[in-house]
Amino acid sequence: MIPYGKQNISQDDIDAVVKCLKSDFITTGPKIPEFENALCEFSNTDYAVAVSSGTAALHCAMVALGITKGDEVIVSTLTFAASANCIVYQNATPIFADSIENSLLIDPVDVERKITSKTKAIIAVDYAGQPCDYDALRTICDKYNLFLVSDACHSIGGSYNNKKTGSLADITCFSFHPVKHITTGEGGAALTNNEDLASKMRIFRNHGITTDYRQRELNGAHYYEMTQLGFNYRITDFQCALGISQLKKLNLWIEKRNQIAEIYDSAFLELKKITPLYNNENVLNAYHLYVVKLDESLNRDAIFLKMRNAGIGVNVHYIPVHLHPYYKNTFATTEGQCPVAEEAYQHIISLPMFPSLSYDEILYVIDSLSKFSNI
Ligand SMILES: *Cc1c(COP(=O)(O)O)cnc(C)c1O
């Protein structure tokens, strides 16, 4: 089976982890700030807080921005559930925004339409790896005094107006799950240029305690204070050792992903019933996913099954979050609230996309998809 995404672990990664395991610290040691600094340098952002998952990073963002009961946060609906769940963790209300038809990115016009006096923030998801329209979103946030959060779990290494993801919003969240661009097993990070927000997220990831174990060791002190309720969202040193090693290869992998996308794009240019997502001119797409829309005359689910039976691990990203039973039952969300995303969901399919995908595998995917689409 050719999967839709896959991690890439080589000997240098393994060596880095083993070296860390043999060192004095396997958690909350020197590899944490080293990884955070590498992330800052990579994305040209001032502060990074490494945590145990992308979901934890999103939760940290909500806490740092003071999102609480009674608040509304507008979030893309065409995303993984975690993008919205972080709002609910804070007992706030998620309001789902529709997508732009050709790119499937969050639609700033729909966002503005859904703002109320309770709206506190927007979570924009860089769907499939393409950064959203951050200029338009920033204009809206300035106009209504809202915070902007970027769920960049698909777009690390991508850029918008030549600015890397990481500092395009007030807080940007990355995931290092194995299916994403770089991995730490499980892991994530929240990045910001605001020192106060970074400090709040550091405290929240460590039970709400104001110093961590290593700081106290360095100071020779035992005293610590818990100033608020936090979680244990820490990441380990050996995970960060892996992350540091992986990050060195990210630019090369983004290039590879773009080369694969070009091969797909040029093949589908000929096939009118298969349409790749539209890329805006001012972006570098990080291509976490390669998504195409199938023509309405085609049966997506039948093609999905045929592709799977042919050994191609296609997928569908995503069921719009507002259509999940939990959201319908808890927030009374309904069909029709985000018609563009709901319609797109019926026709999209994600094709294999990862740096080690071979040319022959790409051609096999293209041939199979055109064969099963009868074109
Ligand atoms: C993967 C992902 C997350 C969650 O990341 P985890 O590290 O799995 O917790 C959140 N949002 C989006 C868009 C993702 O793709």
Kindly state if the Cβ of 283 falls inside 6 Å of ligand 1: no
325 and 270 in a single domain? The answer is yes
Kindly state if the Cβ of 83 falls inside 6 Å of ligand 1: yes
pLDDT for res 214: 78
* pLDDT confidence tier of residue 218, bands split at 50, 70 and 90: confident
240 and 265 in a single domain? The answer is no
**pLDDT tens by residue, 303-314:** 999 999 999 999
Q: Whose CA is nearest to atom 7 of ligand 1?
A: 54
Q: Tell me the best of 153, 174, 176, 181 to mutate to test the pocket of ligand 1, counting ligand atoms within 8 Å of each CB and taking the most.
A: 153
209 and 149 in a single domain? The answer is yes
328 and 222 in a single domain? The answer is no
| Residue 72 clears pLDDT 80, i.e. is over it | yes
Residue of higher predicted confidence among 215 and 329:
329
Q: Whose CA is nearest to atom 3 of ligand 1?
A: 54
233 and 263 in a single domain? The answer is no
Asked which of 218, 247, 276 is the last residue of a domain, the reply is 247
> 93 lies in which domain range?
2-247
pLDDT for res 217: 79
Residue 93 sits in a domain whose CATH number is 3.40.640.10
- Starting at the earlier edge strand, list the strands of the sheet with 283-284: 163-164, 159-160, 283-284
Kindly state if the Cβ of 175 falls inside 6 Å of ligand 1: yes
Q: Which residues contact 276 (CB under 8 A, 6 or more apart)?
A: 261, 264, 265, 268, 290, 291, 292
157 and 200 in a single domain? The answer is yes
Residue 261 sits in a domain whose CATH number is 3.90.1150.10
Instruction: Say how many Å lie between the CA of residue 285 and the centre of ligand 1.
Output: 17
**pLDDT tens by residue, 203-213:** 999 999 988 77
Kindly state if the Cβ of 152 falls inside 6 Å of ligand 1: no
* Percentage with pLDDT > 90 across the chain: 95
What span, in angstroms and rounded, lies between the C-alpha atoms of 241 and 31?
6
Neighbours of 121 (CB within 10 A): 24
| Residue 216 clears pLDDT 90, i.e. is over it | no
DSSP state of 279: P
Say if CB 182 and CB 13 are below 8 A apart. Answer: no
Asked which of 181, 213, 247 is the last residue of a domain, the reply is 247
**pLDDT tens by residue, 153-201:** 999 999 999 999 999 999 999 999 999 999 999 999 999 999 999 999 9
pLDDT for res 56: 98
Instruction: Say how many Å lie between the CA of residue 375 and the centre of ligand 1.
Output: 35
Instruction: Say how many Å lie between the CA of residue 216 and the centre of ligand 1.
Output: 32
Query: What's the total number of domains in the chain?
Result: 2
Average pLDDT of the chain, as a whole number: 97
| Residue 3 clears pLDDT 80, i.e. is over it | yes
Half-sphere exposure of 102 (CA within 13 A, CB side): 3
pLDDT for res 220: 82
20 and 166 in a single domain? The answer is yes
61 and 196 in a single domain? The answer is yes
Kindly state if the Cβ of 79 falls inside 6 Å of ligand 1: yes
* pLDDT confidence tier of residue 82, bands split at 50, 70 and 90: very high
239 and 132 in a single domain? The answer is yes
Average confidence (pLDDT) over 370-374:
93
58 and 206 in a single domain? The answer is yes
Say if CB 158 and CB 129 are below 8 A apart. Answer: yes
Beta bridge partners of 147: 121
229 and 282 in a single domain? The answer is no
**pLDDT tens by residue, 342-357:** 999 999 999 999 999 9
Kindly state if the Cβ of 151 falls inside 6 Å of ligand 1: yes
Average confidence (pLDDT) over 92-111:
98
Asked which of 247, 272, 297 is the last residue of a domain, the reply is 247
Q: Which residues contact 266 (CB under 8 A, 6 or more apart)?
A: none
| Residue 374 clears pLDDT 90, i.e. is over it | no
Instruction: Say how many Å lie between the CA of residue 293 and the centre of ligand 1.
Output: 22
51 and 133 in a single domain? The answer is yes
Structure tokens at 300: 């997506």
Q: What is the DSSP string of 152-215?
A: -TTTTT-EETTEETTSSSSEEEEE--TTSSS--SS-EEEEES-HHHHHHHHHHHBTTBSS-HHH
What span, in angstroms and rounded, lies between the C-alpha atoms of 368 and 375?
10
